[in-house]
Amino acid sequence: MKNGRPDAPQKEHPSGFQLKTLWAAITGASLLGIGVMTVYCISVVTRVLQFLQPVLVPVAFAGIIAYLLQPLVDKLVKRGLSRFRAMLWVWIIFHLTLLLLFLAVAVPTVSKGGRLIATRSGDWAQNVGGFVSRTLEAVDRMADRCT
């Protein structure tokens, strides 16, 4: 007797359409909330990674090198060396290789730089002298304008 009349048809509230609409709205709001939280979490993780980048990049680089050199250590261990000695040999060989690569690049670069400085030192001295004198004149002019 909802409508006051006992013979009136009783309607189901909410209707099927209203239920579907309500669940669609709840689903949409939930997806929006999940999207907002996802974007916020990504921004927080990005900020943390930017802050920790000076630490994480060398650690990641070291991890990659260790991963690449691990098979060499395993081969040396299979040949009868202890794990410590195998790691020590790989470490020494790796650093000697890096040193040789550095010297192969650095020595020619330094010698070319030395020759360049020797051949153009007069030009650079004149250019630097002219730059210094022009800068001092500009500073004097600005000081005169201000006083």
Per-residue pLDDT tens for 68-86? 999 999 999 999 999 999 9
Per-residue confidence band for 126, with pLDDT thresholds at 50, 70 and 90: confident
Instruction: Look up residue 2 and give its two tokens.
Output: 């909802």
Of all residues in the chain, what percent carry a pLDDT higher than 70? Answer: 93
Which amino acid does the sequence have at 116?
L
Distance of CA 78 to the CA centre of its chain: 38
List Cα–Cα distances, 68 to 89, 97, 103, in angstroms.
Answer: 15, 15, 23
Instruction: Look up residue 114 and give its two tokens.
Output: 């030395």
Query: Is pTM beyond 0.85 here?
Result: no
Per-residue confidence band for 59, with pLDDT thresholds at 50, 70 and 90: very high
